[in-house]
A and B are shown apart, each in its own frame.
Chain A
Amino acid sequence: MRSASFAIVDFIAKHRVGAVIVLLIVFPLVMPYQALAINILVFGLYAVGFNLLFGYTGLLSFGHAAFLGVGAYLCGIAIVHFGWPWYLAIVAGVAAATLVGVVIGYLAIRTRGIYFSMVTLALAQIVYYAFYKAERWTGGENGLRGVRVEPMQLFGFTIDLVDPMTKYYVILVFVAAALWFVSRVLKSPFGAVIEAIRENEKRTAACGYDVARAKLLVFTLSAAVCGLAGALRALHLSIVPIDSLHYLQSGQAVMMCLLGGMGTFFGPFIGAAAFLWLEDVTTTMTSHWMLVVGVIFMIFVLFFPKGIWGSLLHWMRRDSRANEAVGETVVPERAL
Chain B
Amino acid sequence: MIELSIPLLLAQLTTGIALGAVYALLALGLSLIFGMLTVVNFAHGAFFMVGAFLGVYFLGLTGSFWFSLVLAPLAVGAIGLVCERVLVRPLYGRGIDDPLLLTFGLSYVLVEAMRIAFGIEGMPTSTPAELRGATNLGFGFFPTYRLFLIVATAVVVIALWLFIEKTRFGLIIRAGSRDPEIVRVLGIDIARVWLIVFGIGCAIAGLSGVLAAPTRAVNPEMGIPVLAESFVVTVVGGMGSLPGAVVAGLLVGVVYSMTSLFAPDLAELSIFVLMAVVLLVRPQGFFGKAGLMSGT
CA–CA, A301 and B106, complex, Å: 11
State whether the Cβ of A107 lies closer than 8 Å to any Cβ in chain B. yes
Contacts A115-B235, A297-B108, A302-B87: A107 and B280 contacting too (C-beta < 8 A)?
yes
CA–CA, A125 and B225, complex, Å: 8
Contacts A112-B295, A117-B40, A291-B108: A298 and B279 contacting too (C-beta < 8 A)?
no
Q: Is there an interface contact between B232 and A122, defined as CB atoms closer than 8 Å?
A: yes
State whether the Cβ of A144 lies closer than 8 Å to any Cβ in chain B. no
Please name all residues of chain B whose beta carbon is closer than 8 Å to the beta carbon of A248 when the two chains form the complex: 224
Contacts A254-B101, A291-B113, A291-B116: A114 and B279 contacting too (C-beta < 8 A)?
no
From 31 to 51 in chain B, residues with beta carbon under 8 angstroms from any chain A beta carbon are 38, 40
Question: Would you give the shortest CB distance from B110 to chain A, in whole angstroms?
Answer: 8
CA–CA, A327 and B268, complex, Å: 63
Interface segment out of the listed B18-26, B91-99, B154-162, B196-204: B91-99
State whether the Cβ of A294 lies closer than 8 Å to any Cβ in chain B. yes
CA–CA, A294 and B108, complex, Å: 5
Q: Is there an interface contact between A112 and B116, defined as CB atoms closer than 8 Å?
A: no
| Residue interface mask A102-136, B partner, CB < 8 A = 1 | 00000100111111011101110110011001000
Please name all residues of chain B whose beta carbon is closer than 8 Å to the beta carbon of A258 when the two chains form the complex: 101
Q: Is there an interface contact between A113 and B268, defined as CB atoms closer than 8 Å?
A: no
Q: Is there an interface contact between B279 and A294, defined as CB atoms closer than 8 Å?
A: no
Q: Is there an interface contact between B112 and A107, defined as CB atoms closer than 8 Å?
A: no
Out of B94, B97, B224, B275, name the residue touching A60 (CB < 8 Å). Answer: B97
| Residue interface mask B100-112, A partner, CB < 8 A = 1 | 1110111111011
CA–CA, A288 and B276, complex, Å: 36
CA–CA, A122 and B269, complex, Å: 10
Contacts A247-B228, A288-B115, A294-B105: A118 and B234 contacting too (C-beta < 8 A)?
yes
Question: Would you give the shortest CB distance from A232 to chain B, in whole angstroms?
Answer: 26
Question: Would you give the shortest CB distance from A254 to chain B, in whole angstroms?
Answer: 7
Chain B contact residues, majority secondary structure:
helix
Q: Is there an interface contact between A123 and B272, defined as CB atoms closer than 8 Å?
A: yes
Question: Would you give the shortest CB distance from B46 to chain A, in whole angstroms?
Answer: 10
Question: Would you give the shortest CB distance from B93 to chain A, in whole angstroms?
Answer: 13
Q: Is there an interface contact between A118 and B40, defined as CB atoms closer than 8 Å?
A: yes
Question: Would you give the shortest CB distance from B92 to chain A, in whole angstroms?
Answer: 12
State whether the Cβ of A290 lies closer than 8 Å to any Cβ in chain B. yes
Range of interface residues on B (Cβ < 8 Å): 35 or more
State whether the Cβ of B138 lies closer than 8 Å to any Cβ in chain A. no
Out of A125, A247, A251, name the residue touching B272 (CB < 8 Å). Answer: A125
Please name all residues of chain A whose beta carbon is closer than 8 Å to the beta carbon of B227 when the two chains form the complex: 121, 247
Please name all residues of chain B whose beta carbon is closer than 8 Å to the beta carbon of A60 when the two chains form the complex: 97, 100-101
Question: Would you give the shortest CB distance from A62 to chain B, in whole angstroms?
Answer: 8
State whether the Cβ of A139 lies closer than 8 Å to any Cβ in chain B. no
From 211 to 259 in chain B, residues with beta carbon under 8 angstroms from any chain A beta carbon are 224-225, 227-228, 231-232, 234-235, 239
Q: Is there an interface contact between A297 and B105, defined as CB atoms closer than 8 Å?
A: yes
Please name all residues of chain A whose beta carbon is closer than 8 Å to the beta carbon of B102 when the two chains form the complex: 298, 301-302
Out of A114, A133, A301, name the residue touching B296 (CB < 8 Å). Answer: A114
State whether the Cβ of B293 lies closer than 8 Å to any Cβ in chain A. yes
Question: Would you give the shortest CB distance from B115 to chain A, in whole angstroms?
Answer: 7
Please name all residues of chain A whose beta carbon is closer than 8 Å to the beta carbon of B96 when the two chains form the complex: 113-114
Chosen A-B contacts, 25 in total, with CB atoms closer than 8 Å, are A60-B100, A110-B279, A111-B279, A111-B293, A111-B294, A112-B295, A113-B295, A114-B97, A117-B97, A119-B231, A122-B231, A122-B275, A129-B268, A247-B224, A254-B101, A255-B105, A258-B101, A288-B116, A290-B108, A290-B109, A290-B111, A294-B107, A297-B105, A301-B101, A302-B90
Interface residues of B (CB under 8 A from A): 38, 40, 87, 90-91, 94-98, 100-102, 104-109, 111-113, 115-116, 224-225, 227-228, 231-232, 234-235, 239, 265-266, 268-269, 272-273, 275-276, 279-280, 283, 293-296
